[in-house]
Amino acid sequence: MLTDRQLLILQVIVDDFIRSAQPVGSRSLSKKEGISLSSATIRNEMADLEEMGYIEKTHTSSGRVPSVKGYRYYVDHMLSPQRLTQHDISIIKSIFAEKIVEFEKIIQRSASILSDLTNYTSIVLGPAVSENKLKRIQIIPVNKETAVAIFVTDTGHVEHKMFSLPASVNPGDIEKTVNILNERLNGVPLEELNDKIYKEVAVLLKQHIQNYDSMLHTFAQLLKMPITEKLFFGGKTNMLSQPEFHDIDKIRDLMMMIDQEEWISSIIRNNAKGIHVRIGSENNNKIMDECSLITATYSVGEEKLGTIAILGPTRMEYSRVIGLLQFLSRDLTAVLTKLYQNN
């Protein structure tokens, strides 16, 4: 266990390093107010903290830097979310200023504002559309061979897709089919559409439609489209200003990973409810060894709907970022709940 004094020293080291990005030495610590110990005493304590793995040296005679374990302890036991300033709050509130709620825009603005407020990179995952309920299907022929299918959900989300019309189909049949689909599939969550069309709609189609086979096939194909929520990023270039990324190769790897979206996506989509912090090597990704990722979810009711996240250096302002994420996730939850309950 750590003594009170060790806790104090660890805390000051982390705080100081987060601020300055410079390894913290015993002498500079001893001169801090709130600490009335000689540098020698601090050196002894630091040696102990190092032995326990909370801090590290960058070379034999350098000051100390928090280790992953150190940051972890700091985040788990010493940190309280920063209270936001009035200024921060008003900026976040401005996200929701416009009256008509176009959700994608809110998400996008959230990402951009979050990165502005933190100077890190922000990532926002839109609300799970696949759980939205179908409101209306519309088929609009574009020319003889192709048509556009449009799906509108109860939250006002619109998906659309072009497709080839089955050969020799007659317009009346399409209309009939669409009517049947709307009647039967109204209120069904998007992810269950494909199921339902076989179980409930197929029979009806068979009764009313000539070109039953190709029609069913076409629509089943349409409904099979995977609905993956888009990721929105903000401040991708902010990382370039961090002193730990002076090395262009590191930056390149990192930026390529971000642009790839693959790794980020897998993390962001599969995280559990609440706020989570992944520090450095905890990310299980070489490229992320010097980065931390903080994720927060937003929900409606009990159900997690989407995620907002901040990616920054391990030397990140955890307190501030967690404070901001907490606040924004609550606001998003509130807005969404209102939107979803309005139906």
Partner DNA sequence: ATTAGCACTCATGTAAGAGGAGTGCTAACA
Partner DNA sequence: TGTTAGCACTCCTCTTACATGAGTGCTAAT
Residues that bind DNA (CB under 7 A): 22-28, 36-41, 43-44, 46-47, 50, 57-64
Q: By CB under 8 A, is residue 121 in contact with a copy of itself?
A: no
Looking at residue 122, its amino acid is S
Contacted by 21, from a copy of itself, DNA, none: CB < 5 to 8 Å by type = none
Span of 121-129, 149-157, 189-197, 282-290 interacting with a copy of itself by CB under 8 A: 149-157
Phi-psi region of 32 (alpha: psi -120 to 50; beta: other; left: phi over 0): beta
Nearer of residues 159 and 192 to a copy of itself, judged by Cβ = 159
Residue 94 or 164: the one with the smaller Cβ distance to a copy of itself is 164
Tokens of 273: 């409810």
Q: Are 3 and 42 a contacting pair, CB within 8 Å?
A: no
| Under 8 Å between Cβ of 316 and 292 | yes
Question: In sequence order, what are the residues at sequence separation of 6 or more whose Cβ sits closer than 8 angstroms to the Cβ of residue 156?
Answer: 101, 102, 103
Q: Is 154 in the site for a copy of itself (CB under 8 A)?
A: yes
Closest to 152 measured CA to CA, from 199, 109, 185, 195: 185
Residue 20 or 221: the one with the smaller Cβ distance to DNA is: 20
Q: Could you tell me the smallest distance in angstroms from the CB atom of residue 42 to DNA?
A: 7
Interaction pattern, residues 200-239, with a copy of itself; x per rule: CB under 8 A: ------------------------------------xx--
46 binds, among a copy of itself, DNA, none (CB under 5 to 8 A by kind): DNA
Q: At what angle do helices 171-185 and 212-223 cross, to 10 degrees?
A: 50
Give yes or no for residue 163 binding a copy of itself (CB under 8 A): yes
Q: Which of a copy of itself, DNA, none does 37 bind, CB closer than 5 to 8 A by kind?
A: DNA
Q: Which does 48 bind (CB under 5 to 8 A by kind): a copy of itself, DNA, none?
A: none
Segment lying near a copy of itself (by CB under 8 A), choices 116-124, 146-154, 286-294, 316-324: 146-154
Angle CA(274)–CA(279)–CA(285) in degrees, nearest 5? 110
Residue of 32, 72, 133, 136 that binds a copy of itself (CB under 8 A): 136
Sign of CA dihedral 191, 330, 324, 97: positive
Question: Residue 41 binds what, of DNA, a copy of itself, none (CB under 5 to 8 Å, by partner type)?
Answer: DNA
Nearest to 273 by CA among 293, 291, 292, 300: 300
In Å, how far from its chain's centre is CA 40? 45
Residue closer to a copy of itself by CB (options 137, 296) is 137
Q: How far is the CB of 75 from DNA (least distance, A)?
A: 23
342 binds a copy of itself, rule: CB under 8 A = yes
88-107 residues in contact with a copy of itself (CB under 8 A) are 99-102
Stretch of 66-74, 187-195, 198-206, 242-250 lying at the interface with a copy of itself (CB under 8 A) = 242-250
- Dihedral pair phi/psi, residue 102, rounded to 5°: -90, 110
Burial of 15-26, coded b for 16+ CB within 10 Å and e otherwise, reads bbbbeeeebbbb
Question: What is the distance between the alpha carbons of residues 268 and 217, in angstroms, rounded to a whole number?
Answer: 34
Amino acid identity, residue 31?
K
Name the H helices within 246-315: 248-260, 262-269
The β-bridge relationship of strands 64-66 and 55-57 is antiparallel
Q: Which tokens go with 7? A: 């806790």
- Nearest CA to 276 among 302, 308, 299? 308
Question: How many residues in the chain?
Answer: 343
Residues in 244-283 at the binding interface with a copy of itself, rule: CB under 8 A: 245-246, 248, 251-252, 255-256, 259
Q: For binding to a copy of itself (CB under 8 A), which residues are involved?
A: 99-102, 135-136, 138, 140, 142-146, 148, 150, 152, 154-156, 158, 160-164, 236-237, 240-241, 245-246, 248, 251-252, 255-256, 259, 342-343
